[in-house]
Amino acid sequence: MIHRLTWTETNEDESRALCDVEHEILAEIKTMIELFPAWDSGGSKSFASHFRESFRERLDSSWMKAFLLRPMNRRRSSVTNFVVDAARDFFDQKCQHHHQIRIEISFDNRQIIGTNVLKMLVGAGRIVTSRRLGILIAPSKDAKNVFGLDPAVGSSDEYLLAIESGYPELISLPIFLGVIRPD
């Protein structure tokens, strides 16, 4: 099964224009995801495991994988609430900005939607940066069915509702929602 990614802009994205480098990174992520190998529904891996593994394998060395947002003991079971799938902090010569970008693959139970949104914000002040961007990648309702995801997994529609209606006063940076759709 081939999958595709579309970006859904949230209301919070209107707070500032994106730099060229941020547009380039969004385009790179879209292309990378659309070139993932097909998932074998008869195999031993779930679609969520296949997707997250394929994503991490294709990130280049400029990205920090499984980035711990706050210093803490990684052996604690709750530490996953403070880990994003990827983070990147860099200075772009062209726009003269420091950038911090976080990515979270969101194939989790809908009860974790708030946690995944907050992961875009937690500890962001620890790294001095002038431009922050959050990227959440979630399945569409159709993708949940096609890829055999648990019905309790939060859909992209539920993430959009949380970002725009549930937490707008807490969100202080643009968050892009990547929607995984079956092809």
Highest mean pLDDT among 65-69, 123-127, 156-160 belongs to 156-160
- Strand runs (DSSP E) across 10-166, as ranges? 64-68, 83-92, 97-105, 131-139
Residue type at position 6: T
Q: How confident is the prediction for the chain on average, in pLDDT?
A: 84
What is the rounded average pLDDT of the residues 16-43?
86
Contacts of 51 (CB under 8 A, 6+ apart): 36, 39, 105, 107, 180
pLDDT at 43 over 50: yes
CA separation for the pair 110, 116 (Å, rounded): 10
State both tokens at 98: 């420091």
* Secondary structure string (H, E, C) spanning 22-58: HHHHHHHHHHHHHCCCCCCCCCCCCHHHHHHHHHHHH
Q: 88-137: per-residue pLDDT in tens? A: 989 999 999 899 999 999 998 989 898 898 888 875 555 556 788 899 99
Strand order in the sheet with 175-182: 3-9, 175-182, 131-139, 97-105, 83-92, 64-68
Domains and their CATH numbers in the chain: 3-71+78-182 (3.40.91.20)
Q: Is the pLDDT of residue 15 over 60?
A: no
Query: What local confidence, expressed as pLDDT, does residue 86 receive?
Result: 92
